Amino acid sequence: MATKKQVEAAKENIKKAQEAWKEMSHRERAVAQPEGKDRAEPGEGGEGDYYRIIVRPKEDFVTFRNHDVGEPGHIIRLAGKRRNGSWDTHAWLISKKDARIEGESLIPVTQDAKEVIEALASKPKRIEGDIFEAKES
């Protein structure tokens, strides 16, 4: 039989766990589960339809929206909304039909992809899989 002190401690632990669970994102909850730890992040495997060029960290934003730029399904701008209500670009998604990888560099194949990559302040640097990082001008 549990003592009164043990029961109180158990109740307190449950409250702490519930509070922590409420503050977790969907992704954090999935990773907290035993089978979720082995799950790969999107884009790490290199099997998707797009290359992702991250220009600002996702922690800067509270919500996201995507915009097709030009022809549908080729270049997508991932916009993020900041806490103050302003919107800015979080990342660019460039179709694998519009660019290719040579070594660690992303080489544009179409004019639209070339314009997006040239508009960046720095050359996209490969992080892993299909994920690149660059600075936006």
List, for residues 39-82, the tens digit of each pLDDT value: 666 666 667 888 999 999 989 999 999 998 888 888 999 999 99
Q: How far apart are CA 20 and CA 12, in angstroms?
A: 12
User: Which pLDDT belongs to residue 86?
Assistant: 94
Report the C-alpha dihedral over residues 58, 51, 88, 116, rounded to 10 degrees: 150
Model confidence, pTM: 0.68
Domain range annotation of the chain:
4-36, 50-133
